[in-house]
Amino acid sequence: MPEAKGRYALGFTTLEQEVDQLPLQVEGELPAWLTGRLLRTGPAKFEVGRQAYTHWFDGLAMLHAFDFSDGAVRYSNRFIRSQSYCEAMEKGRIARGEFMTDPCRTLFGRVMAIFNPKLTDNANVNVSVLAGEIVALTETPMPIRFDPHTLKTHGRLQFSRAIKGQISTAHPHSDGERGYSYVIEMGRRSTYRLFVDESGMQRVLAELPVDRPSYMHSFGMSERYLVLTEFPLRVNPLKLVFSGRPFITNYRWQPEFGTVFTVIDKSTGAVAARARAASCFCFHHVNAFEADGALLVDLLAYPDARIIDELRLDRLRSGAQVNPTSTLTRYRIPLDGSPSAAVEIEPESLCGTRIELPRIDYSRRAGRSYRCVWGAGQSEPDSFLDTIAKVELSATAPATVTTWAEPGCYAGEPVYVARPTGAEEDDGVLLSVVLDVGAGTSFLLVLDAATLAKRARASVPHHIPFGFHGNYFAPLDRSAR
């Protein structure tokens, strides 16, 4: 394993230990109504044999579960036994290509990969609901089913019909009635293919041809529309097949394309509007909603895509300066123009405080106007994500920001959980997995969502590597396993 020297390098160090229903010591008091389960995924194994993964996004996935009941919390973790994981363990080396890691070290191996490509199913990005099931997701259309109680892997989710594509998103949307996602089919004629899920049955909603597909990590949703945002990090699809290079290194930053928005009607699949703005890059959409004849699209914008290279493991472990946060930015897309022509629009910065891993009151405010967004922030340029921030938006005044931080602690995504009887948008708690580098362990942090006052923490006896996303699920019915 490469030597880790940075202050927060422990967060990028392999965790091998698996535990089941381990009672955690709780300091403070958990809300009595918090009786569900927080399920998260993230990279936890960064080497296989003598080979090391290149990028934070590459490590083999591990599930983490925090169960709440009667004021107590129990912790479980388990590697996802994906085909990527099982093949790597069997061969004693990295078996499948990942985001920025190429396992084919020989010319023969590269040639065979062209004729028999194996997409990764290393679901280390998110835990969400797709086709009516809780699944772990990565950026290929290979969701992994698992038992939400035992975390045992059950294999890939099978859709009701084949939806062709090699690339997808780990951030599907739901409006309470239907689920939405997309795949990208790469080829001589490439296609963005949006699909809808209704009661576990999938159908294609829209197909959009594209010559040079963009790297998109997420997409937007309002009450009536879906939004594909193409950033000028684009690829020649044939290079993905014949270059012999890791996936993301085939993409090129081409700012002359600008940032292109395509708005799709959720009911008909028709293109309702197009817009173009100056070039930027983004991992995460925050929200989208309709107001005054326009669609407002909020996302976290970087000026370019250099953040991808900054998140290489060698840089992160060495403590090199990295800025993993971005600017909350709004784009206003007119809905009264011709959908065949892209209108030029300008970005609007909503807040001077930079954040990442954004969360909102999704169940009640997704696709609607909203006031609160929470995220992980950075206190100083030579640090990492060490702050939790609450941004309150206002139509008549500048945004206000509240933060939580503790020395030597590095915070993960703050997952919002609404109080069941609460009416306000911030009436609930935030759940975040935090690394305490001084103790060499992690803890689950519970904050009041309105004030960011600490309500409780539950200590884990080992470190939890920095992960990405997860969700809180209401009490699960064991009889429905």
Give the H or E element holding residue 372: strand 372-377
Q: Is 149 annotated as a binding residue?
A: no
Q: Taking a C-beta distance cutoff of 8 angstroms, is the pair 392, 371 a contact?
A: yes
Q: Is 469 annotated as a binding residue?
A: yes
Give the closest residue to 69 by CA, choosing from 34, 39, 38: 34
Helix boundaries (H) for 220-375: 237-242, 306-310, 313-318, 362-365
Question: Strands 347-349, 356-359: parallel, antiparallel or unpaired by DSSP?
Answer: unpaired
Please, what's the b/e burial string for 254-281 (b: 16 or more CB within 10 A of its CB; e: otherwise)?
Answer: ebebbbbbbbbbbeebeebbbbbbebbb
Tokens of 442: 């992690």
Cα 199–203–207 angle (5° rounding)? 145
Q: Is 284 annotated as a binding residue?
A: yes
Gap between the Cα atoms of 476 and 478, Å rounded: 6
Gap between the Cα atoms of 438 and 454, Å rounded: 19
Q: Is 55 annotated as a binding residue?
A: no
At residue 306, the 3 state secondary structure works out as helix
Residue with the two structure tokens 């990405």: 468
Output the DSSP codes for 106-144.
Answer: SHHHHHHHHHS--------SEEEEETTEEEEE-SSS--E
Proportion of the chain in helix, strand, coil states, percent, rounded to 5:
10, 40, 45
Contact residues for 306 (Cβ-Cβ < 8 A; gap 6+): none
Q: Count of CB atoms within 10 A of residue 286's CB?
A: 23
Tokens of 432: 């975040």
In the chain the first and final C-alpha atoms are separated, in Å, by 39
Give the annotated binding-site residues for Fe cation. 171, 217, 284, 469
Give the annotated binding-site residues. 171, 217, 284, 469
